[in-house]
Structure formats: C-alpha cells, structure tokens
Amino acid sequence: MSDVDTDTEAADEAGPDLVTAQAVLGYVVKQLVDDPDAVSIELDDRGRRPVLNVHVGPGDMGRVIGKRGRVAQSIRTVVRAAAARDGGDVEVEFLD
C-alpha cells in the first residue's frame, strides 16, 4: 500500500494532468523489476510534451524493455491512456 501512496505524492508534484499517469507508471514498473526501491521517475516538461523519465536498478532495464521493446511499448500505451483520462498527454522514456 505504501508504494501507491508514495507514487501519488510524487505525482502531485508533477501537476494535476499527470497524477494518474505517473502513479500508473510507477506501479507497473515496480511490479516488473527485481529491485522496486531503485525505480525513480522524473518529470521533464521543458519540451512540447511532458516526458516521464524512468530509471531502474542495474540489471532491470531488460525486464522493462522486453524482447524487441514490446514491454516498453505496452507500458507507454497504458501510461498514455492514464494521462488521457486526466486530459493530458505524456511521453515515457527509459534511461540508463
């Protein structure tokens, strides 16, 4: 239960349109990795569209990307749908 609480607090800082998107992204990524405490999500809103940058622990990037990037693409689709629910738009990037 505490994972959801911390994600919601971090999402509140991101602005009202990304609350759901950031919470969904945090939950999904933490469920996929071996070390959920190493997951961090940063908001970059300097461009045309806000970007959520995801950092994971060593060795977990492969789990998040998946074969041929299928897992990453699925995560992006779900997070965009969550952002659309709040009337926003967002990109998701997975960084080393």
Q: What is the model's pTM?
A: 0.81
Distance CA 77, CA 66 (A): 14
pLDDT digits (tens, 9 = 90+) for 38-90: 999 999 999 899 999 999 999 999 999 999 999 999 999 999 999 998 888 99
In the prediction, which pLDDT does 2 show? Answer: 44
The pair of three-digit structure tokens given for residue 44, joined into one six-digit string: 């970059």
Task: Assess whether pLDDT exceeds 70 at residue 19.
Answer: yes
Distance CA 29, CA 59 (A): 14
Distance CA 21, CA 10 (A): 11
In the prediction, which pLDDT does 4 show? Answer: 47
Alpha-helix runs per DSSP H in 15-69: 19-32, 61-65
Question: What strands lie across the sheet with 40-44, from one edge to the other?
Answer: 40-44, 51-55, 91-95
Question: CATH assignment of 2-95?
Answer: 3.30.300.20
CA 7 to chain centroid: 10
Name 91's bridge partners: 51
